[in-house]
Amino acid sequence: MADLDRRAAGASYGTATWGQTAAADIDVGLRQYMLRVYNYMASGLLLSGIVAVVVANTGLAELFFQVNANGRLGYTGLGFIAMFAPLGIILAMSFMRNISIAGLQGLYWALVSTMGVGFAVALMTYTGTSVARVFFITAASFGALSLYGYTTKRSLSGMGSFLFMGLIGIVLASVVNIFLASSMMHFMISAVGVIVFAGLIAYDTQNIKNQYLEIRGSGLEDRSAIMGAVSLYLNFVNLFQFLLSFLGNRE
């Protein structure tokens, strides 16, 4: 009887040890996966910033931008292509299921490069000091919100529909305001935009974490990490732009 008890205890101990080891392996894999996501995102922001600085401070600006009759900065034909190219690239990344990892990485670098052309507008519109200040405010906010999304035990899935509706509302209102040019509507869009993209940072971080737990060991980790980086990159960029409209000082 005592021997049976010892065997049962040993089996129980072995099961507990195996469970702890498996959990530790998941934690290590998850940290490595999230680090990969953040590295892609940070590298993308760095490349976008380099492209923006080069375009804004060289003759390349004339290829993409022109001053309108009313004295405002507008886009040339090539500028419009650069402005809408990111949308096409994102759609390609989302629907090209058979693309290789190298191809997906190439599309990601193309995405952040073309986004950098758009960032040049901010450098040409706002003072360098205010752009740098808002960037660091955005980075600090992003870090806090993403950390919350990663560590919270509360499911943020309920926020999804609300944030999606807010995002659609921002897009529609922005299109309407192209024709109205209302400063009040612009202020309201920016205020809602800050709230929506702040929420999306936490929401998407939790989704990226949960997705790893679903695909772990499937060989899809690299692809998922790149797409996760795209989500966080776009959230960061939009939050930065909306905050800049509030806090930036124009030239």
Q: Tell me the domain boundaries of the chain.
A: 18-247
In angstroms, the CA 36 to CA 33 distance is 5
Average pLDDT score, the chain: 87
| Residue ranges of E strands in the chain | 65-67, 73-75
> pLDDT-based confidence at 183, cuts 50/70/90?
confident
Task: Please report the pLDDT score of residue 251 as a whole number.
Answer: 73
> pLDDT-based confidence at 92, cuts 50/70/90?
very high
In angstroms, the CA 69 to CA 59 distance is 21
The percent of residues in the chain predicted with pLDDT above 70, rounded, is: 88
Residue 173: CB atoms within 10 A of its CB come to 17
The percent of residues in the chain predicted with pLDDT above 90, rounded, is: 58
What is the residue whose two structure tokens read 């939009």? 238
107-124 mean pLDDT? 94
Residue 92: CB atoms within 10 A of its CB come to 15
> pLDDT-based confidence at 88, cuts 50/70/90?
very high
CB-count exposure of residue 58 (10 Å: 0-12, 13-18, 19+): exposed
Tokens of 72: 């405002």
Q: Provide the whole-model pTM.
A: 0.87
Please choose, from the candidates 122, 117, 210, the residue with its C-alpha nearest in 3D space to the C-alpha of residue 160: 210
Q: Are 138 and 236 in contact (CB under 8 A)?
A: yes
What is the residue whose two structure tokens read 């450098």? 123
Q: Are 120 and 52 in contact (CB under 8 A)?
A: yes
CB-count exposure of residue 21 (10 Å: 0-12, 13-18, 19+): exposed
